[in-house]
A and B are shown apart, each in its own frame.
Chain A
């Protein structure tokens, strides 16, 4: 008895009039997978230095993220405390094991710290982005102990740290970074691109913030770790 897999593949081949062993077809597929041609890359993100950072901020703010620029990572605890205080939010923060965060002196603030993936009852969380890109003001976060994926979605308020040196042009530069870090064709379990806080337009097409994910996204842009 033929399997569903074999049937589907042979139906496809019959429809296309091929047998699947044609050298030019195999070469065409192998070349594309090996060479990964880039296609059209918008000029919008193709900037350098401060203009690229400015474009990232402009795009992120257009999608209702807020951005704070900090000179160094050491300023993070105070900025988080300030944000929570000003928004009348409880002084709690949950984070993963990212050394950039755990090395900080949180004692100077009176915040209650906790570590690990979200249980669904954390109001505030902080993560470190692997990178970001100027074209659309998006952040890239990858799964793992340093920055558990649940922290990106369950809390109401999400703080994300991004180094200005990690701001790139567009998605293509994210792929290059992933390949450099994990190997060609290899990926972590989850890669999240986050562009603003959660929203829905499912009721009468009016856009409302705070659907199932965070109601607010505060990006902490740091010059140096």
Chain B
């Protein structure tokens, strides 16, 4: 049972988001802090661009040999005393995890942050089996008590203000004094630390995601700043790792290359506070650590992306840089995208995983400004991949009649250059005269889709082609300059 989507209502979602003043206030932090911190981190490391190339090449190599690395990885997990479970889809992954929990008679299950667990609807499955899942990442904990889904892949509660979080804590932590001061973010963090500490110590099973799986050693890697992923995995008797199949990297050296671009791209840190490699269950003379170590490897549509025009999307390391730099994400936030993965990476991945008929609006929500591709640590050509989805949507006649009619009309003129030049010249002159007073239009016939939420700039009176010809002529007329 995958997480249910509201992606088909993308347009309604965006209208709601644009009118939500609290959301708009919260999104202000994305626009500045994430972008500045990444830029500073990249500037501090002269080798950053070379490392992006290296990370891209490693992921391409893995994807081309994924079957072989999965076999190596599985053999090494088994050799270190762990167990690998393969899951074709969300249902099989949930069943495997619930089965492991039930075999240990688990009541409380703590969880580190994992996007693939959101994708497969894991919390609902654990609850349905009569156990209590507890999210331990601060952001995930906040959205869990609100009954929401993450709005960002690395900052799940980025859509909320601290006042909203304070209200949620008062509502949920009723055993604490009602008059306590929760105005400072520090007091919210400290309260969550106290509440979750008890959960960590009480948990029977701990579930974490994985930033990478290392074929060479059979290890899983997680990176966190809070330490929640570590407390989740070292205190309970059972540690379950859930990861999608493309998280494999060949060697420890390859992991180091990717770690160097991951944190810098995500939060602008050179290295996250905790980078942890876990290999198998606790050894015979270890005084702590889990007694069982399981890895649930999820396909859920990914093997079909290999060899397709969307294969490059499988390079994604889930840093969030593309959404942090996306003007559309800045305007509407993550929930508007309607499923688990928002922003440019979500606009490409979501149609691959749940279908273009369900999520066809998402690749249309792009200005193709190219900022996402310019910051992607593994250089995924996100605009190109979104364009592929638009083509598929058009081919399958999924785009609305007005868009198809408009494109048809444009194509009629574009195929007749003389007519095209004549009509655009006339149109530009007309609009320029009409818009001369204000320099922009609040309203024009047939353009409500644009003018409802923003003004249309008035043309200057000349088409691009006319300006180009004029400039070319002037350049040719000029005598060549010699020294």
Partner-B contacts on A (CB < 8 A): 3-5, 7-9, 11-13, 15-18, 20, 25-26, 28-29, 32-33, 36-44, 59, 63, 96, 116-118, 120, 135-136, 138, 143-145, 148-150, 152-154, 170-172, 175, 178, 185-206, 208, 210-214
- Residue from A170, A188, A195, A212 in contact with B193 in the complex, judged by beta carbons closer than 8 Å: A212
Residues of B within 8 A of A40 (CB): 47, 50-51, 54, 257, 260
For B65, give the chain A residue with the smallest CB separation: A29
Contact A203:B68 (CB < 8 A) given known A12-B306, A29-B250, A136-B270: no
Residues of B within 8 A of A18 (CB): 67
- Residue from B136, B278, B305 in contact with A212 in the complex, judged by beta carbons closer than 8 Å: B136
**B196 interface residue per 8 A CB criterion:** yes
- Looking at B50, B69, B234, B285, the one whose CB has the most chain A CB atoms below 10 A away is B234
Whole-angstrom distance between the alpha carbons of A102 and B475 in the complex? 83
**Interface mask (B297-309 → A, CB under 8 Å = 1, otherwise 0):** 1010001111110
- Residue from A8, A194, A202, A211 in contact with B86 in the complex, judged by beta carbons closer than 8 Å: A8
**Interface mask (B261-297 → A, CB under 8 Å = 1, otherwise 0):** 0000001011111111111111101111100000001
Residues of A within 8 A of B215 (CB): 33
Least CB distance, B345 to chain A, in whole angstroms: 19
B283 A16 Cβ-Cβ under 8 A: no
Whole-angstrom distance between the alpha carbons of A191 and B218 in the complex? 13
- Residue from A4, A36, A44 in contact with B252 in the complex, judged by beta carbons closer than 8 Å: A36
For A147, give the chain B residue with the smallest CB separation: B287
Whole-angstrom distance between the alpha carbons of A200 and B80 in the complex? 33
Residues of B within 8 A of A9 (CB): 67, 70-71
Least CB distance, A68 to chain B, in whole angstroms: 20
Contact A170:B256 (CB < 8 A) given known A3-B86, A4-B92, A188-B283: yes
A171 B256 Cβ-Cβ under 8 A: yes
* Cross-chain pairs A/B with CB under 8 angstroms, 23 sampled: A4-B299, A8-B70, A20-B68, A25-B68, A33-B216, A33-B250, A36-B216, A40-B47, A43-B47, A63-B273, A143-B283, A145-B286, A150-B288, A153-B227, A154-B231, A172-B256, A192-B230, A203-B162, A204-B29, A204-B161, A212-B136, A212-B196, A213-B274
Least CB distance, A14 to chain B, in whole angstroms: 8
Q: A9-B70, A40-B54 are in contact. List 14 more A-B contacts (CB 8 A).
A: A5-B74, A26-B68, A28-B65, A39-B58, A120-B235, A185-B216, A190-B234, A200-B189, A200-B225, A203-B162, A206-B185, A211-B193, A212-B227, A213-B231
A198 B271 Cβ-Cβ under 8 A: no
B252 A195 Cβ-Cβ under 8 A: no
B217 A116 Cβ-Cβ under 8 A: no
A195 B257 Cβ-Cβ under 8 A: no
B274 A194 Cβ-Cβ under 8 A: yes
Q: Which residues in window 65-96 of B have CB below 8 A to A?
A: 65-72, 74, 76, 80, 85-88, 92
**B60 interface residue per 8 A CB criterion:** no
**B142 interface residue per 8 A CB criterion:** yes
Residues of B within 8 A of A117 (CB): 287-288
Q: How many residues of B contact A (CB 8 A)?
A: 106
- Residue from A42, A192, A194, A201 in contact with B260 in the complex, judged by beta carbons closer than 8 Å: A42
Whole-angstrom distance between the alpha carbons of A122 and B29 in the complex? 36
Least CB distance, A58 to chain B, in whole angstroms: 12
Least CB distance, B296 to chain A, in whole angstroms: 10
Q: Which residues in window 205-264 of B have CB below 8 A to A?
A: 215-219, 225-228, 230-231, 234-235, 245, 250-257, 259-260
For A9, give the chain B residue with the smallest CB separation: B67
Residues of B within 8 A of A118 (CB): 288
A201 B234 Cβ-Cβ under 8 A: no
B281 A189 Cβ-Cβ under 8 A: yes
Whole-angstrom distance between the alpha carbons of A7 and B253 in the complex? 30
Whole-angstrom distance between the alpha carbons of A38 and B304 in the complex? 31
B155 A202 Cβ-Cβ under 8 A: yes
Residues of A within 8 A of B449 (CB): none
Whole-angstrom distance between the alpha carbons of A195 and B224 in the complex? 11
Whole-angstrom distance between the alpha carbons of A11 and B298 in the complex? 13
Residues of A within 8 A of B269 (CB): 63
B225 A198 Cβ-Cβ under 8 A: yes
Least CB distance, B265 to chain A, in whole angstroms: 15
For B288, give the chain A residue with the smallest CB separation: A117
Residues of A within 8 A of B46 (CB): 42-43
Top 8 closest A-B pairs, CB basis?
A: A213-B227, A211-B226, A202-B139, A11-B303, A15-B306, A171-B256, A187-B279, A15-B307
B289 A149 Cβ-Cβ under 8 A: yes
For A192, give the chain B residue with the smallest CB separation: B276
A202 B138 Cβ-Cβ under 8 A: yes
Contact A210:B193 (CB < 8 A) given known A120-B201, A148-B287, A203-B185: yes
**Interface mask (B168-196 → A, CB under 8 Å = 1, otherwise 0):** 00000000000000000110111001001
B273 A205 Cβ-Cβ under 8 A: no
- Residue from B157, B219, B275 in contact with A187 in the complex, judged by beta carbons closer than 8 Å: B219
B274 A192 Cβ-Cβ under 8 A: yes
A16 B189 Cβ-Cβ under 8 A: no
Residues of A within 8 A of B278 (CB): 189-190
For B93, give the chain A residue with the smallest CB separation: A4
Whole-angstrom distance between the alpha carbons of A44 and B88 in the complex? 43
Residues of B within 8 A of A152 (CB): 230
